[in-house]
């Protein structure tokens, strides 16, 4: 880009202006500082960050943090024991330590959330960007496909998938991603549509850049921030759907500690051993809430208009 | 962008503006609550019995009923020639007043009850609604149809002379069935068969007019002779039957109607039972059995049931094929006592005997006892000392059993002796279509006998590879066939005992537990006679609500 810069300084100035006004927040230390400043102001966002951080910590450090083996049974001596010093969150019907199972369960939920949403973002971004950028018939076609996918009941689709494939973390996460991309695609498309007619993009075209270069270098970076928000919220959705699937007895298989499975089996004991269903249920709720808070805070922090209003 | 604009607006919104909106919202909530209350308010007649069902029947076609869900409703609408005596469990006349059996055990003469009339329902016009021998012959032929779209149960009548030829389409009438006069039906068997009268329990008389005039609705609108008439079926919500005013048995039924309420979840059923919105509770939420027995000591009833839960080995493929020692290793590794009395809180009897429910004749043989040391020996004998070289085996089970806590316990018990297994739950439909496949080697399954006879288990689970284990032993097959033809009870049961021993020697499955038929019954419900075949078999015509 150095050549055009020298030759056509006017356009270059335009490009600079457009970029600044759009706010390319993710680049440069100054932007990062401003981003963090806005994010910090969002108190619930910080709470969410703490929750998500705790969860990541639990997932990564599970073998060191868990007080007991999450699979070790002791039916005759430790069945359905209430919270105590030996078992801070009590035990389940097979005498397994609930806290240890919850900690290991964080791995399952986090892996599924990230993998599923990653897949959804990838598919959704590609389809949304192409639809928005190319427009016309391609747009029509891709959007109809998106609508078809939106019309598929996701839980039924998942049940069908686990009936055919083995229900493990990877297949469930990929299936969630494959069914979950349409909303991502629509957001991406609308972003691309909003950006692609701005002057700096016209300028980039005028500079003789190839369409794919314009898309990759000039449009996508400016369409990213809403995708980060959508992605964060999507992780929460994926975790919840996995829990639902496991709650139906069709998700992550026993004896792997999945939070959904724990709620599912625990509900039978709700009147005699409340802790069994309540703690995994709380874990799911807090995690989903945490990701939602972070998502909200990110939306505010990444919103350039908002920044201008506040500063 | 858009979001922040909106928020600013809201912040600056005049105070007054919020008020009416809040009030109308409150009004809306109140209205919808009222609507909710009105819709769900129990508009219950005094004589309406509210009976829980966990799932809707697939259909209500008497010729094709295979599940408990369909039978639950059908047996109140349709009637057979003979039925169970609700108090003794033996046989008693129903639409046949009495019957005679010839000396050679081949000819049964049924004297039909007079004055039995088919239900009068909209859309069905009869020449003569009274049930005669001709109606029975038509119904027999329908049951014997070789077209599975018409009947799924030709086997109920396969003992009848000429039945197989009729089913195969080689004859246009059933040779062994004759009407001697309008009220006398003669049935001749191919050879003596002690199961014939038992099998008749599920063979109902069906009006030909209803079948022909209702067409495709026949599967949704049952029309029979029973104590209750079909009234309505709202899918996944409820099915209502109302009293048959023309019922042949004077004074019956005592109820005005039965509402089968679809409540899929056992915990919700329990909640509704507490609220008096259900009059019986038939499914106990796992994990609350002991507590409920204690809480409802006066409403709890229990009798030994006829269901066997077992762990099946694939006889024809996989690691268990031709490896009796490996099968025995699994059998001796399971601590049934802990599984059923501790984990399942006594919801079923642990299987210390063989494959027959304990109430049956020939059931009292010694089962596989829990002995981990012996299991390890067998495992070594099987070629896998301490489990070395044994690939993990997938244990398949169905989603409706997924909430039961013992699967992981079984896994741990088998791991203890060195047998690695992986658990895999499948939704019920997938499970039942897959379990017969060659790559399913270890599976949880169950079998419900309909009556107290060993043939009910042997002829289905151990005969000619009929079960999903594919177990077949020509010697056992021959003995089972021989026993079926013996009409003398003592002689037959002795042979059944021998067969039972041979089956246990072969180890085609590990019997896990036998059912208890349990129920909570409200104190004002009278004459709710539980049947060993399952709570669904309760003849509702005797039941009364006396509040």
Contact A255 B402 (CB under 8 A): no
* Long-range pairs, B56-59, Cβ under 8 A, ≥24: B56/B235, B56/B236, B56/B239, B56/B262, B57/B239, B59/B219, B59/B220
- Find, in chain A, the residue whose alpha carbon is nearest to that of B433: A163
Contact A305 B4 (CB under 8 A): yes
Sort out which chain A residues have CB atoms less than 8 A from B427's CB and list them: 159, 163, 248-250
Q: Cβ neighbours of residue B134 under 8 Å, at least 6 residues apart? A: B179, B182
- Find, in chain B, the residue whose alpha carbon is nearest to that of A257: B408
Share of chain A above pLDDT 90, in %: 45
DSSP for B264-297 reads --HHHHHHHHHTTS-SEE-SPPTT-HHHHHHHTT
SS3 content of chain B, % helix, strand, coil (to 5): 35, 20, 45
**What confidence score (pLDDT) does residue A89 get?**
93
Which of A265, A274, A295, A307 should we substitute to test contact with B (largest number of B Cβ atoms within 10 Å)?
A265
Rounded to whole angstroms, the Cα distance separating B349 from B336 reads: 9
- What's the token pair of residue B224? 């029979």
Sort out which chain A residues have CB atoms less than 8 A from B285's CB and list them: 268
pLDDT in tens, A88-146: 999 999 999 999 999 999 999 899 999 999 999 999 999 999 999 999 999 999 999 99
Which of A255, A268, A309 minimises the CB distance to B4?
A309
Note the pTM of the prediction, 2 decimals.
0.73
Rounded to whole angstroms, the Cα distance separating B202 from B455 reads: 16
For the cut 90, the answer to whether the pLDDT of residue A197 exceeds it is no
Domain A29-310 has CATH 3.30.420.40: no
For the cut 50, the answer to whether the pLDDT of residue A10 exceeds it is no
Classify residue B176 by its DSSP letter. T
For the cut 60, the answer to whether the pLDDT of residue A22 exceeds it is no
Contact B399 A248 (CB under 8 A): yes
Q: Name every residue in A having a CB less than 8 A away from some CB of B.
A: 73, 75-76, 79, 93-94, 159, 163, 166-167, 248-250, 253-255, 264-265, 267-273, 299, 303, 305-306, 309
Write phi, then psi, for B100 (nearest 5 degrees).
Answer: -125, 145
Contact B4 A76 (CB under 8 A): no
Sort out which chain A residues have CB atoms less than 8 A from B1's CB and list them: 303, 305
- What's the token pair of residue B240? 């209502």
- Find, in chain A, the residue whose alpha carbon is nearest to that of B6: A306
Contact B427 A159 (CB under 8 A): yes
Which of A255, A264, A268 minimises the CB distance to B411?
A255
**What confidence score (pLDDT) does residue B356 get?**
94
Contact A163 B426 (CB under 8 A): yes
**What confidence score (pLDDT) does residue A287 get?**
92
- Find, in chain B, the residue whose alpha carbon is nearest to that of A74: B409
**What confidence score (pLDDT) does residue A281 get?**
92
Rounded to whole angstroms, the Cα distance separating B1 from A23 reads: 13
Any A CB within 8 A of B422 CB: yes
Rounded to whole angstroms, the Cα distance separating A49 from A36 reads: 12
**What confidence score (pLDDT) does residue B134 get?**
93
- What's the token pair of residue A198? 């701005």
Which of B402, B437, B440 should we substitute to test contact with A (largest number of A Cβ atoms within 10 Å)?
B402
Helix axes A98-134, A43-60, angle to 10 degrees: 120
pLDDT averaged per 10 residues, chain B (length 547): 33 34 46 47 70 89 86 93 83 91 90 92 89 93 89 89 90 91 93 89 92 90 94 92 92 93 90 93 84 91 90 95 96 95 89 91 92 96 94 90 86 95 88 90 91 90 92 95 87 94 96 92 92 85 90
Interface list for B 285-314 with A (CB within 8 A): 285-288, 291
Sort out which chain B residues have CB atoms less than 8 A from A272's CB and list them: 287-288, 291
Write phi, then psi, for B327 (nearest 5 degrees).
Answer: -65, -40
- Find, in chain B, the residue whose alpha carbon is nearest to that of A255: B408
**What confidence score (pLDDT) does residue B369 get?**
94
Write b or e for each residue in B242-259: b if 16 or more Cβ atoms lie within 10 A of its Cβ, otherwise e: bbbeebbeeebbbbebbb
Cα angle, residue B178 at apex, residues B172 and B180 outer, rounded to 5°: 150
Provide the greatest CA pair distance for chain B. Answer: 99
Sort out which chain B residues have CB atoms less than 8 A from A258's CB and list them: none
Confidence of residue A28 (pLDDT cuts 50, 70, 90): low
Q: What are the Cα distances from residue A278, in Å, to A91, A262, B10, B67, B179?
A: 12, 9, 37, 35, 66
Pairing of strands B228-234, B238-243: antiparallel
Sort out which chain B residues have CB atoms less than 8 A from A248's CB and list them: 399, 427
Contact B422 A299 (CB under 8 A): no
Contact A73 B408 (CB under 8 A): yes
Reported ipTM: 0.74
DSSP for B402-441 reads TTSTHHHHHHHHHHHHT--EEEEEE-HHHHHHHTTSTT--
Smallest Cα–Cα separation from A230: which of A108, A120, A115? A120
Contact A250 B408 (CB under 8 A): no
Contact B426 A269 (CB under 8 A): no
Which of A268, A303, A309 minimises the CB distance to B285?
A268
Any A CB within 8 A of B403 CB: yes
């Amino acid at each position: 880009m150095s050549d055009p810069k020298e030759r056509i300084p006017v356009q270059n100035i335009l490009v600079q202006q457009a970029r600044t006004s759009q706010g390319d927040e993710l680049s440069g230390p100054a932007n990062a500082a401003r981003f963090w400043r806005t994010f910090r102001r969002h108190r619930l966002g910080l709470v969410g960050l703490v929750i998500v951080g705790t969860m990541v910590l639990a997932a990564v450090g599970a073998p060191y943090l868990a007080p007991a083996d999450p699979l070790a049974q002791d039916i005759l001596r430790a069945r359905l024991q209430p919270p105590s010093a030996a078992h801070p969150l009590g035990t389940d019907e097979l005498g397994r330590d609930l806290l240890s199972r919850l900690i290991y369960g964080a791995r399952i939920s986090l892996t599924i959330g990230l993998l599923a949403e990653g897949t959804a973002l990838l598919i959704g971004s590609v389809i949304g960007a192409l639809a928005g950028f190319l427009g016309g018939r391609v747009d029509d076609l891709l959007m109809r496909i998106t609508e078809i996918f939106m019309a598929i009941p996701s839980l039924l689709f998942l049940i069908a998938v686990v009936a055919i494939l083995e229900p493990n973390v990877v297949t469930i996460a990929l299936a969630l991603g494959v069914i979950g991309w349409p909303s991502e695609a629509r957001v991406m498309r609308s972003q691309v549509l909003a950006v692609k007619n701005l002057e700096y993009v016209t300028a980039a075209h005028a500079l003789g850049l190839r369409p794919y270069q314009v898309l990759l270098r000039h449009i996508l970076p400016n369409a990213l921030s809403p995708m980060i928000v959508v992605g964060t919220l999507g992780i929460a959705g994926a975790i919840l759907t996995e829990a639902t699937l496991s709650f139906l007895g069709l998700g992550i298989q026993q004896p792997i500690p999945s939070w959904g499975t724990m709620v599912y089996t625990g509900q039978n004991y709700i009147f005699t051993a409340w802790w069994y269903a309540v703690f995994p249920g709380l874990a799911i709720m807090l995690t989903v809430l945490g990701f939602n808070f972070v998502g909200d805070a990110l939306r505010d922090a990444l919103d350039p208009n908002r920044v201008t209003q506040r500063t | 962008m858009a979001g922040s604009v909106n928020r600013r607006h809201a912040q600056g919104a005049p105070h007054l503006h919020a008020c009416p909106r809040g009030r109308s919202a409150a009004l809306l909530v109140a209205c919808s609550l009222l609507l909710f209350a009105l819709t769900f308010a129990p508009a219950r007649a005094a004589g309406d019995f509210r009976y829980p069902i966990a799932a809707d029947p697939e259909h209500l076609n008497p010729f094709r009923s295979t599940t408990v869900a369909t039978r639950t409703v059908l047996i109140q609408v349709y009637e057979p020639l003979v039925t169970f005596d609700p108090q003794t469990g033996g046989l008693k006349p129903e639409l046949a007043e009495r019957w005679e059996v010839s000396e050679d055990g081949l000819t049964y003469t049924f004297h039909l009850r007079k004055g039995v009339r088919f239900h009068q329902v909209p859309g069905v016009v009869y020449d003569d609604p009274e049930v005669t021998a001709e109606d029975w012959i038509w119904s027999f032929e329908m049951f014997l149809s070789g077209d599975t779209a018409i009947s799924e149960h030709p086997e109920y009548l396969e003992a009848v002379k000429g039945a197989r030829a009729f089913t195969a389409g080689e004859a246009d009438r059933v040779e062994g069935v004759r009407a001697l006069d309008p009220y006398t039906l003669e049935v001749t068997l191919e050879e003596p068969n002690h199961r014939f009268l038992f099998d008749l329990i599920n063979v109902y008389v069906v009006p030909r007019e209803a079948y022909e005039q209702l067409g495709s609705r026949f599967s949704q609108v049952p029309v029979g002779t029973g104590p209750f008439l079909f009234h309505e079926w709202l899918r996944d919500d409820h099915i209502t039957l109302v009293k048959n005013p023309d019922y042949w048995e004077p004074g019956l039924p005592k109820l005005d109607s039965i509402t089968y309420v679809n409540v899929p979840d056992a915990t919700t059923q329990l909640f509704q039972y507490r609220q008096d919105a259900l009059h019986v509770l038939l499914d106990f939420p796992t994990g609350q059995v002991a507590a409920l027995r204690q809480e409802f000591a006066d409403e709890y009833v229990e009798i030994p049931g006829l269901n066997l839960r077992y762990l099946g080995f694939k006889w024809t493929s996989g690691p268990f094929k031709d490896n009796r020692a490996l099968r025995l290793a699994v059998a001796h590794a399971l601590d049934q006592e802990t599984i059923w009395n501790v984990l399942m809180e006594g919801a079923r009897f642990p299987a210390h005997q063989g494959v027959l429910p304990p109430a049956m004749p020939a059931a009292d043989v010694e089962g596989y006892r829990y002995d981990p040391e012996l299991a390890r020996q067998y495992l070594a004998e099987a070629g896998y000392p301490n489990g070395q070289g044994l690939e993990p085996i997938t244990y398949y089970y169905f989603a409706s059993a997924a909430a039961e806590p013992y699967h992981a316990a079984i896994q741990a018990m088998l791991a203890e002796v060195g047998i690695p297994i992986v658990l895999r739950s499948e939704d019920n439909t997938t499970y039942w279509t897959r379990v017969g496949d060659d790559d399913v080697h270890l599976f949880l399954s169950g079998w419900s006998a309909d009556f107290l006879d060993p043939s009910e288990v042997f002829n289905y689970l151990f005969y000619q590879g009929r079960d999903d284990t594919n177990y077949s032993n020509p010697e056992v097959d021959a003995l089972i066939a021989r026993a079926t033809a013996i009409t003398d009870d003592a002689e037959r049961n002795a042979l059944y005992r021998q067969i039972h021993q041979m089956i246990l020697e072969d180890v085609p499955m590990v019997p896990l537990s036998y059912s208890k038929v349990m129920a909570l019954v409200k104190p004002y419900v009278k004459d709710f006679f539980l049947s060993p075949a399952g709570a669904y078999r309760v003849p509702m015509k005797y039941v009364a609500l006396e509040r």
